[in-house]
Amino acid sequence: MGEQVAVGLVGAGPWAGMVHAPALAAGPETRLAGVWARRPEASAELAGRHGAPSFARLEELFDACEAVAFCVPPDVQADLAARAARAGKAVLLEKPLALDLDGARRLAGAIGEAGVASQMVFTLRYARAARDFLERARGLEAFGGYGSFVSSALSGGPFATPWRLEHGALLDLGPHVVDLLDAALGRVVGVRAHGDPLGWVGLTLDHDGGAVSQASLSMAGGGELPPTRIEVYGRRGYALLDRSELGDDAFATMIAEFAATARSGGGHPLDAAHGLRVQEVLATAGAQLAGARTARIDNYSD
């Protein structure tokens, strides 16, 4: 292991406090170089908990670090992460890249033009159990699969944030499930969508090579909910990833790999270009959902 990578944190909300700040501060491959947030009092409180400085200006944070982790709403990330890339900083990015596809393309383009390293926070992909599942899936000669992710985020709590309440499950939960099905069954090359992002969304995904999968997404659940599941079926058997069986190793692995990505200058498979590809699938699905709502209104307008 080389010298610790100095990582600045942009954002001081609940997820930043629960995951990003403690993981970056714990190292050993990284150190938390400081925090910047739109609310100075939140930035100072979170930074103080981990013995790191709080910065009043974003540029001051950039000057103090080699890499930047983002934990802000996607529309904010799209702008600020592009500024970090132009400042020459490696970036650790939340999903989705942006609130819309144009913003995602601009951010991915800025990262590519700057030539900086990037990595996405597709949390499940860093768990050892998920990687073992994907290894099993690759040997199954898979022809189909299924993924489900149901939460109660729309009912309240720390993740009932404005962008989630407006855009729902497709943009928040969809990246995790589409990414895993893409990794397990092959590159997604087509999508068909139905439902409502604020209720229940169903996706049918066509994969390169001929496999087909379905995904069910909802943030409108209540009471006791089932764990997130990804299933793969093939000519050589069956594989299951059950989130309730995952360990707590994902975040430490993610931070260790981000440090390596920042040192090497790139090359991580879950980079911004991959995040953009996943968002392109979701944007296509979102357009279909919006069109279906318009069609229903038109059909019943008489």
Bridge-based pairing state of the strands 142-150 and 212-218:
parallel
Quote the pLDDT of residue 136: 98
pLDDT average, residue stretch 187-198: 98
Q: CA 231 to CA 175: how far, in whole Å?
A: 16
Confidence (pLDDT) at 112 = 98
Task: Please state, in angstroms and rounded to a whole number, the distance separating the CA atoms of residues 84 and 61.
Answer: 10
Q: Is residue 126 within 8 Å of 251, Cβ to Cβ? A: yes
Domains of the chain, with CATH numbers? 5-123+250-269 (3.40.50.720), 128-246 (3.30.360.10)
Q: Are 11 and 42 in contact (CB under 8 A)?
A: no
User: Which residues make Cβ contacts (< 8 Å) with residue 93, sequence separation at least 6?
Assistant: 70, 77, 81, 107, 118, 119, 120, 121, 272, 275
Whether the bond between 28 and the residue before it is cis, its omega within 30 degrees of 0, is: yes
Q: What number of other Cβ atoms are within 10 A of residue 38's Cβ?
A: 14
Tens-place pLDDT, residues 262-284: 999 999 999 999 999 999 999 99
Give the integer Cα–Cα distance in Å for 272 and 94: 10
CA distances from 99 to 20, 146, 171, 217 (A): 21, 26, 8, 18
**Res 295 pLDDT > 60:** no
pTM, two decimals, is 0.94
Please provide residue 200's backbone torsions phi and psi, each rounded to the nearest 5 degrees.
Answer: -135, 130
The angle formed by the CA atoms of residues 284, 270 and 39, to the nearest 5 degrees, is 85
The pLDDT value recorded for residue 294 is 61
Q: How far is it, in rounded angstroms, from Cα 274 to Cα 234?
A: 25
The answer to whether residue 1 scores a pLDDT higher than 60 is no
The 3-state DSSP class for residue 172 equals helix
- The number of angstroms, rounded, from the C-alpha of 247 to the middle of its chain's C-alpha atoms is 19
Give the pLDDT score at 247. 86
Phi/psi region, residue 6 (left: phi>0; alpha: psi -120 to 50; beta: rest), is beta
DSSP string, 94-145: PSSSSSSHHHHHHHHHHHHHHT--EEE--GGGGSHHHHHHHHHHHTS-EEEE
Distance of CA 222 to the CA centre of its chain: 23
Identify the pLDDT of residue 293: 66
Percent pLDDT > 90 in the chain is: 92
C-alpha R_g of the chain: 19
Reduced to 3 states, what is the DSSP secondary structure of residue 270? coil
DSSP secondary-structure letter at 10?
E
105: exposed, middle or buried (Cβ count in 10 Å: 0-12, 13-18, 19+): middle
- Per-residue pLDDT for 301 more than 60? no
